[in-house]
Every structure is written in C-alpha cells, then in structure tokens.
Chain A
Amino acid sequence: MLLILKEPFMQRALLGGLLTGSLGGLLGSVAVLRQLSFFSDALGHSALLGITLGILLGVNPTLVLIPFAVCFALMVNQLVERSSLPTDALLNIVYSSSLAAAILALSLVETYRGGIRQLLFGDILGISNIDLIIVVVLLAIALAYLVLTMRAQVLLTLNSDLAGAVGVQTRWHRIMFIVLLAVVVAVSIKAVGVLLISAFVVIPACASRLLSRNFALYMVMSAAVGGGCALMGLLASGMTNLPSGPSVVMVQFFGFLIALFLSNHQLRKRSIARKALHQIPGAAPADH
C-alpha cells in the first residue's frame, strides 16, 4: 500500500481526486439547492457526444469538451427558458438523444471501441500535471466566484424576483453558474467518467445539506465531503484493485448514509428538546 503511494501517478491521482471532489462538492452545494442536479447529469451524459466529436475531428477530445459543454449548457438553458415543457422532461430528451448520437458516432470510430469503458467510468490514474493545473485554476475561480457572490447565489435560489428587486443581475449569475458547472463537468469527465460525474456534484452536497445549519458551513462541508470521499475512495481502490471512479462514488454513498443517520438523530434530539420546552409554561414562543 505504502509503495503505491510513492508512485507519481498515484500521487497525481490522489491530488486530482481531492481537487475534483472538492470542486464538485462546492458547485454541487448551489446546484442541488437550485434543483440543477439533473442538469449536471444531462451535461455529463452529453459530454460523450463532445468527446466523440473531438475523435471524429481528429482533435484532442479534452480540448473540444470544454467549449462543447459550455455551448451545450447555454443551449439547454435557452431551451428550458423558452419552452413550456417541464425542465426534467426536456433534460431527459436532450441527454438521451445526445447519448444515443454519441454511441452511434462512437461505433464508427474503430480506434475508440476499446476505450469506451474509460469514457464511461473515468480513469483518474491517467490524470496528468496539466489536468491538475486546470483543476486548481478552476477551483480557485469557482471558490472566488461563489464566496464573492454568496448573497446573489442565495437570493437567486430563494426567489429570482426578490434577487432582481434588490439588485442581483439574475440572468448574468444564472448563466455564469451554468457555464461554471459545465466547465467543471467537462474537466472532471476524464477522472470520473460520463456515468458517474453527477454523483460528484450531487451526493456530497446532499449529505452536507442534511447536516448543515448555515449556508457558509454548508458550502465548506460539501467541498470537504467531496474531496474527502474522493481521497478515501481512491485509497480503497488502490488497496483492493477495484475501478477508481465507482469506488469513490460508493464511499460518497456511504458518507450520505452516515449523514442521513446523523441528521435523523439530530432531528430526534431537537424534537425532544422542543417538547421539553413546551412543558415549561411561558418558555416556548408561539409559532405564528
């Protein structure tokens, strides 16, 4: 076990996992509250089409993926804004169609038939130094953006009219967040894979949401859970020789179960405390 930790590829993978997990958790904290979980899933699935386009054009798929994901996200955003159909139905149509198109196109590419597994489940062990630099820069941008605009993010999530009335540039922030989410999904695909990317965004945020009682803590906890689970999943994968992406997601899932148990425990404790308070005459405030 210790020997494998000395390997540069494993060190890069651990650092990459930590950073990618933190990035997914950080953006996921807002995405989940804004009900964009399914949007990140759709982005992840459609990314396969972006990769296929890159292969067909003979360009490095990673270079095609970021502009593709941004264009795709903006296009879907326009579609959702302009259509009267429910968002989940629209996203389903878009992501299943793009996935089907990508698989059809991939079947035409001889050289990539063997690599489909890596596209679907990711290959974090193949992460390069340049990939690490990109994730670090992205994490810095996401952190600065979310910290500086926390008021705008929260108000926009609660009620977009309230946000707009008190001076939040609602359209700009909505687009900016979607673009950021698209870039993060595109960059993380290599490590996490098309099928599991949404877990990196959704699970840490949901686990932290159950346990947090203020917004700043929630964002920090979500990033920490994302990064911590990725690290533990990779170590577990290294020890057991199991695929890395699914190992990380399983650790995230166990983390979520622990959060669920702890939150139920907290709820029970609070309910007992409230009942005790109501038994003291005049101690409990009226609930209206």
Chain B
Amino acid sequence: MAISEGGLLTDEIRCKVWPKLLSVNTDDLPPLPARKELREDNKDYQQVLLDVRRSLRRFPPGMPDDQREGLQEELIDIILHVLQRNPQLHYYQGYHDIVVTFLLVVGDRLATALVEKLSTHHLRDFMDSTMDNTKHILNYLMPIIDQVNPEVHDFMQSAEVGTIFALSWLITWFGHVLSDFRHVVRLYDFFLACHPLMPIYFAAVIVLHREQEVLDCECDMASVHHLLSQIPQDLPYESLISKAGDLFVQFPPSELAKEAAQAAQAERTAASTFKDFELASVQQRPDTVLRQRFRERLRGEERLRGEERTKSILTKPRTNRFVKLAVMGLTVALGAAALAMVKSALEWAPKFQLQIFP
C-alpha cells in the first residue's frame, strides 16, 4: 500500500500504518518528560531552537501563529527527548524537517515514538558524530546514475558537481526541499516501507528524470549544482517512485557497493571511520535475506523474459510491473525485519569491500 500508487492517501491511515511499518506498539507509548527538564543542560538545545524557529515554511500556510508556535515547541521537545534517550545520536540540521513531518501527521506523542525508532534505524547513519557515513551513502548516487545513463554520469563527473546538491534531499527525506506537504508525506510512505537506502535511489531518479536539462547545462560545478539543487515542484511522483523501486531491484546496493567504495577512496574518505563495521557484520542478516529474495525474484523474472531484459529499464515501462511486484512482495514478506538493517549494510564499509573485490 505504502509503495503502490497514491501511497497511504490520508493521515488517518498513516496514523495506523506508519507505526506498523516501524514496529512501534501504539498501545504502550511512554509519557513525555517535563519540558523544563529536557531543555536544561542539553548540548543541542540552542541549535535545535535556532533551526525550529526558522522552520516556518514547514507548517501549513493558513495555520494561526499561536497554533504554529505551540507545534514548534512540541517539535523541540520531541527532538530533545529522542536525543536525550539516545546519547549515541547526534543532531543535524535537517533532522527537524523530518520530525516536523511526523508531528504534523501523527501528533506529538506518537511522533516521539516513531521518530525514536526511525532515528535508531533509517536515520542512524546521518546521526553519527561525523557525517562520514552520510557522505558514503551519497557515494551511491553516481553509480546508480551511471548504470542507467552513463552519459549523464560522465557529464556530471566532468563538471565535478559532487553530490552535495542531494544532501538535503537525503537527510531530510526531501522534507526540506518540497513545498507541498502532500508530496512529502507520500514520499515518507514510500521510504518507511523500503530499504533505508531508497532515498538515494529516489535522488538518482530525479536527476535521471532531468537528464536533458542536465546535459543542456554548462558543464561546470556551479551551473550543474544550481540546476539540480533547484528541485522542480511538479515532479511526477508516482512514476518516479515506481522507477526508484525498479532501480533498487535491478541495481541493489550490494552491486553498487564497489563503485561507491571507490568513490569514497577517490575522495580520500578514511575507511577507518566506519567503526561500526564489526557491528554491521553481526547485524547484516536481514539484509542478506533481503538480497537473496531479490535475487530469487530477479532470477524468476529472467526466466520469464529470457534475454529480453536490458539495462534500460527506465525506457521500458512494460517491465516495471514485475519488478514492482518484487518490491511489494518483499516488503510484505519481510515487513519490519527489513527495518533492522540500517547499520547492517555490509557493503557500506569500503574496507571490507576491498577484501571482497580485491
């Protein structure tokens, strides 16, 4: 449902389904601590305050000021509460864009529980003490683009545009850059139901959707960065979601890991920063299961379609249905198990990759 066309449609349904997608028990929500307690001696309070005060655009335009201000205070409380309970998590600018989406859809109490779960899973890498892991996830962007359209990839490489234009997309799940709230929650339905790396596939799909604009652009960092960072507000979300799902199945993270690791090497990102590597290998089982399932399904498709299958899945909408089924089937089959693997991505650790691909 969350992946298929239209997503979860209403906030009422989202209140019921989002907790299930995150395996949060709604009957047993812990009470929120007192506001004063939260704000005293909190190292992140000042930064959170600055960012939340400035986040006026995230609230519906017609909302009365006092109502909005009340919600902003709740937003600060949720963020500080989650940070206080999870000292291993670090606040980043943009985290507030994610939390506000949950607050507006499900209210403060449920939002706290959902955001806490999300922060220790999907968003975990963004909340490390440094942004090295975030940077590494961004390194998946160019290999995905390369698989689908090498010309766009080469153009972007020679422009040296980097991937920072997609940083706010990734770490806010597009909450920071899309002005229509309906589009934001639609994407959240999709991302909540998918692998934590899905937002980077979606970012790639947006770039690929604009391939002509990119190729028509002057081949320099500023022009390409400027073009891509201005995200069009009238994107065909449903077809892009479907394409992102297709790409994930066709080019799963494990297959892109080598290129991503090389990109990291090229940027001289220290492999030693992936301290969670050992932990990752312990936790990797669900991911392995997921990948096996994908491969089984892909093999099934290949049998069905023989040699017909090519790289150009984007130009072959006919094939999309099969692949979408694969994604959906997996999501249903694995459900919350798939969520327990953010840290697990074995293929994210470049050091390890080098051993696999000597």
Task: State whether these chains interact.
Answer: no
A residues near B (Cβ < 8 Å) are: none
B residues near A (Cβ < 8 Å) are: none
